[in-house]
Amino acid sequence: MRRLSCVMLIVWLSACSAVTPTPAATSPDQFAEERERMVSDQIIPRDVTDPIVLQAMRRVPRHEFVLPEYLDQSYEDHPLPIGYGQTISQPFIVAYMSENCELKPGDRVLEIGTGSGYQAAILADMGLEVYSIEIVPELAAKAEARLKRLGYAAQVRAGDGYYGWPEAAPFDAIIVTAAPDHVPQPLIEQLKPGGRLVIPIGPVGAIQTLWQFTAEEDDQLTARNLGDVRFVPFTRSAQTP
């Protein structure tokens, strides 16, 4: 069993702001401009530099992954509700977590918390082999259909992400988009040596810490603090002890 050791590197992340829905009417050309502005104004200034991540953020149409009433806020720097008590993360957080997975095309990645499918689409656009688990069956079904319609190759499963996807393991990286109060041991065990787990950890309804854990060859797990964040809670199946 891998044990944890920490190397601290604090990075500032912006807090999530409250969102008020407004009517939307935007053309596809304007969306392209907004995507470019999102990358140039929100993401690059915060030191996200991986060209593969930046290109994916420029290409993936985030407006396809939000509810109609929030369409005009698709490329603003905050999360948005997607129903069932869940959100689509702010663009910077998506880019920042993707970069800290430290992946290259062809790598295998597991996402816990499919939500609308936007993070999975970014990972797929990066040329990765994507597996994604969503606890809410309705969201899983909608995300799977949306990703297929838009042409993003990602395998989606409805289920309890705490246990990962053992038959597809090991993974080069695992990215968790909801906050548990501890590191799930099954996810640690599904990392390849040298693989990374990017996960927020902390109490419900409070500021959490985003961590990058790296699985070492000697079964140790080193940790890097990526800064303060606020995510929705990590939800478990009702029958889970």
| Residues forming the active site | 89
Measured CA to CA in angstroms, residue 142 lies from 44, 67, 149, 151 at distances of 31, 12, 10, 14
Q: What is the 3-state secondary structure (H, E, C) of 95-115?
A: HHHHHHCCCCCCCEEEEECCC
- Alpha carbon distance 127, 106 (integer Å): 6
Spatial contact of 188 and 197, defined as CB atoms under 8 Å apart: yes
The string over 161-198, giving b where at least 16 C-beta atoms fall within 10 Å of a residue's C-beta and e elsewhere, is bbbbbeeebbbbbbbbbbbbeebbeebbebbeeebbbb
Number of H helices, E strands in the chain: 6, 10
Spatial contact of 218 and 2, defined as CB atoms under 8 Å apart: no
Using CB atoms within 10 A of its CB, is residue 89 exposed (0-12), middle (13-18) or buried (19+)?
A: buried
